[in-house]
């Protein structure tokens, strides 16, 4: 069942990235960073690369905890250029991408978001459904630290279309056993 696109974004005032109107080091209004992240997500999953990239700090430090051998656009990326390239690659591979924010928590320069994402591979019938947790640290209104968590085992199974649980339960000569 398709996930409804996030409707709440339409009710939020669009806020430009950057620290406009605020002195450096002064605390931001409570919801400003939350608004920025919601706007960022909207641009990111709509494939609006330039707009999404405008929310990245030049020195952004990104880690998505997943095997990069299977998901080259994840893992660790440093700097705006690397992040933008990664976003471009994701957009090349998957479209449309639908998402729903299921929880968002914001405090000072920290924002944490939980979301359901449905990614359709271009030119095929492959669909990946995944629940994601994103943690953002903002600096001057832009994302400077970005951590992403997901059930990477399930994501790998979906991408490779393989039942790894079944394979791992009976690997020849394996000493492995469930924890």
Site string for other proteins, 148-167 (x = CB under 8 A): -xxxxxxxx---xxx-xx-x
Distance, C-alpha 53 to centroid of its chain: 13
Task: Give whichever of 24 and 50 is closer to other proteins, judged by the CB atom.
Answer: 24
Q: What CA–CA distances, in Å, run from 133 to 58, 151, 167, 168? A: 23, 10, 28, 26
Q: CB of residue 22 vs other proteins: minimum separation in angstroms?
A: 17
- Check residue 117 for interaction with other proteins (CB under 8 A): no
* Contact pick of 76, 107, 122, 127 for other proteins (by CB under 8 A): 107
- Check residue 110 for interaction with other proteins (CB under 8 A): yes
- Check residue 7 for interaction with other proteins (CB under 8 A): no
Q: CB of residue 129 vs other proteins: minimum separation in angstroms?
A: 12
- Check residue 32 for interaction with other proteins (CB under 8 A): no
Length of the chain measured in residues: 179
Query: DSSP states of 109-133 as a string?
Result: TEEEEEEEEEEEETTS--EEEEEEE
72-78: long-range contacts, CB 8 A cutoff, minimum separation 24: 74/148
- Check residue 59 for interaction with other proteins (CB under 8 A): no
Three-class DSSP category at 83: helix
Task: Give whichever of 88 and 149 is closer to other proteins, judged by the CB atom.
Answer: 149
Site string for other proteins, 128-147 (x = CB under 8 A): ---xxx-x-x---------x
Q: Which residues contact 169 (CB under 8 A, 6 or more apart)?
A: none
Degrees, nearest 5: CA angle 163-115-110: 130
**Binding site residues, other proteins, CB under 8 A:** 65-67, 69-70, 103, 105-112, 114, 131-133, 135, 137, 147, 149-156, 160-162, 164-165, 167-169, 171, 174-179
């Amino acid at each position: 069942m398709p996930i409804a696109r996030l409707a709440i974004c339409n009710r939020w005032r669009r806020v430009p990235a950057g620290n406009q109107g605020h002195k450096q080091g002064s605390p931001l209004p409570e919801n400003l960073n939350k608004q920025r992240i919601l706007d960022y997500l909207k641009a990111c999953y709509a494939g609006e690369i330039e707009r999404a990239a405008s929310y990245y700090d030049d020195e952004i430090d990104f880690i998505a905890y997943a095997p990069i051998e299977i998901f080259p656009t994840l893992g660790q990326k440093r700097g705006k250029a690397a992040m933008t390239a990664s976003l471009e690659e994701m957009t090349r591979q998957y479209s449309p991408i639908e998402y729903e924010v299921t929880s968002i928590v914001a405090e000072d320069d920290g924002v944490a978001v939980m979301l359901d994402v449905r990614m359709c591979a271009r030119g095929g019938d492959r669909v990946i459904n995944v629940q994601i947790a994103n943690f953002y640290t903002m600096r001057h209104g832009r994302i400077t630290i970005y951590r992403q968590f997901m059930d990477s085992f399930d994501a790998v199974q979906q991408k490779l279309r393989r039942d790894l649980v079944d394979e791992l339960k009976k690997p020849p000569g394996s000493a492995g056993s469930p924890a």
